[in-house]
Structure 1
Amino acid sequence: MSSYPFNSSFTKQFRQEQPVTFCAEEKPYEQIVISPYNRMSDAEMNVLGSALNEQMFDNDIIDRLLAKLTQKDSMDAQRLLAFIKEIQHECTSHASAEPFTAQYYKHLLELLGSFLELVNEYDTNGRELLLGNLNACYFDETSFAVNQSVDSEEVATMHSIIEDFLFQVGEFYQYFHLLLQKETEQENSKSRVQVISHIAYYLDTLITCTEKMIINMEGTLDMLLEWETSLQNRESQSLFN
């Protein structure tokens, strides 16, 4: 059986020249530059950029942290500071009016003064410091993305700072409970000086306000740990890739 090769002019009509190229158009999306090798519409590019941005820069975590610190935590801290000052005023008045219980109120004033300093310090060197670090992650005024220089160690440092404040606030919280318990015991003992009518309500409310602060701090620590873990995962992937 004879073999007849195809005529080259016949085969050319089925062959198309496809030049090989490794160049791609670069399209920026916020702080990400995407180089697509196929045609993408602007809508598709925005969807892809948004998804990459979310995965690479932990926007959701930072957004939740910022909202929490600037809205709920800030208001709760201001309420607590205002209430501490109110109790201080109340104790000062009773210490002046009741010589026999003045020493008890002076002790409360010293305790409240130390607690006020701690809450102020947390507001300045804890919550505000963390807010400053988070605001540094903003890409521009309309959208934000984490600065690539932020690493897990920096987040771990922020976590340690907040955790230390939480421990100190917890110490005061436990002592406030102890004082309230003593107030309750005095109510049942007619042989002791009665001060419960003046201070027990304030202690109980102070405990409630302090508990809110502790819950807020624990929530912040949970979010920081989530962020730190996410960064560690990406850092390990970068190391082995």
Structure 2
Amino acid sequence: MSSYPFNPSFTKQFRQEQAVSFCAEEKPYENIVLSTYGRITESEINFLGSSLNEQMCDNAIIHRLLNKLTQKDSQDEARLLAFIQETHQELSAHANAEPFTAQYYKHLIELLASFLDLVNEYDTNGQELLLGNLNTCYFNETSFAVNQSVDSEEVATMHRIIEDFLYQIGEYYQYFHILLQKETEKENDKSRVLVMSHVAYYLDTLITCTEKMIINIESTLDMLLEWETSLQSRESQELFN
């Protein structure tokens, strides 16, 4: 049986285009505007606006990051900085009092000074930079920060910066372990200098404080990766919608 397609001009006469319009009322909610059709209560507007605001601005994960960085990480970092400075001062005093072991102390003192610079740099160009970006993105009516959107590439850049600091801090952490092992081996040597036990204590405490910082940074990286993945998913939807 032969197939005879309809002529476009023939079928066009049966196609009617009607302009459909609805009367929409725009109602603002915080940083978004909702177009409402029909009857909708104020409480429904607030509920819908709150839900959309959380999803569109990633408020939930940003809020978690801000709380983590300001309430826990900053305190652990402050304790680490204080202990590095305290240890630096103590070892400097030992070096001045023990001329025969001054060279050994000098190496530790230089190591601590270098590590102190790294932790301070992380505080300024890592954690503080991240906090600034998060405050800019976080929408809160009680905050003076200006809300702005961020894309997955910007979050990926923050992730790379923090990850680089993690790698550098991890290098010091491993070296502290090596020094502590050497100190522990010397404990069996009866001819060792007695003040070396103080060095072992400082190294052990330093390792503990540094480990806390590493765990905090790893947790931050996990949350940044979660945020980046969420943004990538939403960006792909926007691309194909």
Shorter-chain TM-score bucket reads 0.7 to 0.9
TM-score (norm 2): 0.87
CA contact (8 A) 2:126 2:162 kept: yes
CA contact (8 A) 2:25 2:36 kept: yes
Which residue in 2 is equivalent to 1:83? 83
Which residue in 1 is equivalent to 2:25? 25
User: Do structure 1's residue 196 and structure 2's residue 196 form an aligned pair?
Assistant: yes
Structure 1 residues not aligned, in runs of 5+: 1-19
| Mapping 1:63-142, distance limit 5 Å | 63-142=63-142
Which residue in 1 is equivalent to 2:7? none
State which structure, 1 or 2, has the greater radius of gyration over its C-alpha atoms: 1
Deviating more after overlay: 138-147 vs 95-104:
138-147
Secondary structure of residue in 1 paired with 2:137: coil
The C-alpha deviation readout for 1:69-116, integer Å capped at 9, x for no partner, is: 111111111111110000001100110111121111100000000000
| Mapping 1:48-63, distance limit 5 Å | 48-63=48-63
* Amino acid in structure 1 at the alignment position of 2:94: H
TM-score (norm 1): 0.87
Which residue in 2 is equivalent to 1:147? 148
Provide the identity percentage. Answer: 76
Q: Equivalents in 1 of 2:82, 2:62: separation in Å?
A: 29
Which residue in 2 is equivalent to 1:8? none
CA contact (8 A) 1:88 1:109 kept: yes
Secondary structure of residue in 2 paired with 1:136: helix
Shift of 1:21: 3.6
Deviating more after overlay: 117-126 vs 92-101:
92-101
Shift of 1:139: 3.6
Which residue in 1 is equivalent to 2:228? 228
Shift of 1:54: 1.5
Work out the number of aligned pairs and report it: 221
Secondary structure of residue in 2 paired with 1:22: coil
The root-mean-square deviation of aligned C-alpha atoms, in Å, is 1.6
Shift of 1:198: 2.0
Shift of 1:194: 4.5
* Amino acid in structure 1 at the alignment position of 2:202: Y
* Amino acid in structure 2 at the alignment position of 1:31: N
